[in-house]
Amino acid sequence: MKSFAKIWAGAAVFAGAQLCLAGEPLLLSEEPISPLPLAPPALAPGKVALGARLFDDKRLSKGHRVACSSCHDFANGGDDGLPRSIGVGGTMGTNSPTVFNSGLNFVQFWDGRSVTLQEQVSVALLSPVAMAGNWDEVLASLKADPHYQKAFAAEYPKGIQKETVEDAIATFEQTLITPNAPFDRYLRGDAGALSKREREGYGKFKSYGCVACHQGVNVGGNMFQTMGVMGDFFKDRGQAEARADLGRYNTTKNESDRHVFRVPSLRNVALTAPYFHDGSAKTLKEAVRTMAKYQLGREMSDADLELIVEFLGTLSGDIPASVRTGASAKEEHR
């Protein structure tokens, strides 16, 4: 079976063959970035609703302290806005990646230790620095809830099981697409969707080489890359190296994977500060300048930096309808 990411990436490219930009044919194969689908995949509404409730349920964690939504706030760009997320008992993890468009990533987590969204659910639930949960306790708690009994019975013949909980949450997460970003509208033919400076920023984004790692439908999220290709980022950072800094090496134990991370998606990046796995870049400007230095080996002028940051702001799309009401309510109480 094709992965969710591959299905949508293929659909986007196919659709692009029939699009035009400013009156001229636009073949998305000639552009490094493809627009997001205008709507999420058609999935079982009951499973989506069930997954949404589970995503916000603290009973999935030890002592019922945190939920998935504790680190993935829909009103906060799909993350928590912290340099490092706080799990059960105050434990510190990495900088939480956004959950928006996560179904389009080729692997999950910074170190890629989960390939599918279903796998990601269990890893987060069992992680001692995240939810510190226990499947036996979680399932017992859910089975004691009449609402969950009824909802699972309606969607899954097996009822409440580890696999069905994973599937429900993953199904909900697949709906968290943020379409209709200004840049996507531009790619689809709306020449006025971007200002002149934003278009110049996109040109700089390409000419500097940012698109070598940030391209495709998710503007990243489709490859691994070493943090510090053109310089020693970790030495220059000026703090002791932590286990999380080892990146993919923690999963593979291959020396070549030391400091290798999944390239993050830049979708909604203007909303997801701070940046990098360690949250060390407080602003988007700082993150772009750091990437230019350590990934591209280039010094970036202030003028070019401003243009690229303006372009990156055009990658912010609409909050998914499935969570818009809840996100708005949270925003009103901030």
226-231 long-range contacts (CB < 8 A, ≥24 apart) are 226/259, 226/260, 226/261, 227/259, 227/260, 227/261, 227/276, 227/277, 227/294, 228/259, 228/294, 228/295, 229/294, 229/295, 229/296, 229/297, 230/293, 230/294, 230/295, 230/296, 230/297, 231/293, 231/294, 231/297
CB-CB contact of 156 with 163 (8 Å) = no
Query: What homologous superfamily is domain 4-39+178-315 in, according to CATH?
Result: Cytochrome c-like domain (1.10.760.10)
* 221 closest CA partner among 68, 96, 97: 97
- In one-letter notation, the amino acid at residue 235 is K
CA 303 to chain centre: 28
Q: What does the DSSP assignment read for 83-148?
A: SS-B-GGG-B--PPPP-TTGGGSSSBSTT--BSSHHHHHHHHHH-TTTT---HHHHHHHHHT-HHH
Q: With 0-12 CB in 10 A as exposed, 13-18 as middle and 19+ as buried, what is 326?
A: middle
CATH assignment of 45-176, given 1.10.579.10, 3.40.190.290, 1.10.760.10, 1.20.120.1200? 1.10.760.10
| pLDDT score of 30 | 78
Domain boundaries, the chain: 4-39+178-315, 45-176
From the list 112, 199, 173, 198, the residue with the least C-alpha distance to 323 is 173
Amino acid at the residue 65: R
Question: What's the pLDDT at 24?
Answer: 40
Confidence (pLDDT) at 91: 86
**pLDDT confidence of residue 325:** 56
Q: Which residues make beta-bridge pairs with 216?
A: 33
Distance CA 165, CA 121 (A): 9
The reply to whether 45-176 shares the fold of 4-39+178-315 is yes
Q: pLDDT of the chain along its 334 residues, tens only?
A: 333 443 344 333 333 333 343 344 343 447 999 999 998 889 999 999 999 999 999 999 999 999 999 999 999 899 999 999 999 989 889 999 999 999 999 999 999 999 999 999 999 999 999 999 999 999 999 999 999 999 999 999 999 999 999 999 999 999 999 999 999 999 999 999 999 999 999 999 999 999 999 999 999 999 999 999 999 999 999 989 999 999 999 999 999 999 999 999 999 999 999 999 999 999 999 999 999 999 999 999 999 999 999 999 999 999 987 786 544 334 333 3
What is the per-residue pLDDT for 321? 78
Residue 253 to residue 36: CA distance in whole angstroms: 35
DSSP designation for 239? S
Task: Decide: helix, strand or coil at residue 251.
Answer: helix
Q: What is the pLDDT of residue 19?
A: 39
Say which residues have a Cβ less than 8 Å from residue 140's Cβ, sequence separation at least 6. Answer: none
Buried b (16+ CB within 10 A) or exposed e, 62-87: beebbbbbbbbbbbbbbbbbebbbbb
